[in-house]
Amino acid sequence: MKVKASDAQRAVAILKKDFIKTTGLSEDDLSVAEAIFSVEAETVVCPACSTRFKPELRSCPECSLEFGL
């Protein structure tokens, strides 16, 4: 995407707003995006909603994301 240097900050703000609107995520939510689900772990973190839970559940109790192992 090409924008004038004088429009760069506004363009970034528009892209961030669109990202949040289309994904339902904010930049803070991406901190666990690469979380690894391990059945050996005491607790795991859902990469979709950041909820911590025991891996025996195999799906997130908050957002119902399935971990089909």
pLDDT at 68 over 80: no
In angstroms, the first-to-last Cα distance of the chain is: 40
What confidence tens digit (pLDDT) does each residue in 2-58 have? 889 998 899 888 888 887 788 776 666 566 666 677 888 899 888 888 899 998 988
Domain match, 40 and 65 both: yes
Q: In angstroms, rounded to a whole number, what is the distance separating the alpha carbons of residues 57 and 42?
A: 12
Q: In angstroms, rounded to a whole number, what is the distance separating the alpha carbons of residues 55 and 44?
A: 6
Domain tally, the chain = 2
Domain match, 47 and 66 both: yes
Domain match, 64 and 39 both: yes
Q: CB count, 10 Å around CB of 47?
A: 18
Task: Average the pLDDT over 54-66 and give the result.
Answer: 90
Residue pair 44/34 in contact (Cβ under 8 Å)? The answer is no
pLDDT at 31: 64
Domain that holds residue 19: 1-27
Domain match, 38 and 68 both: yes
Domain match, 38 and 18 both: no
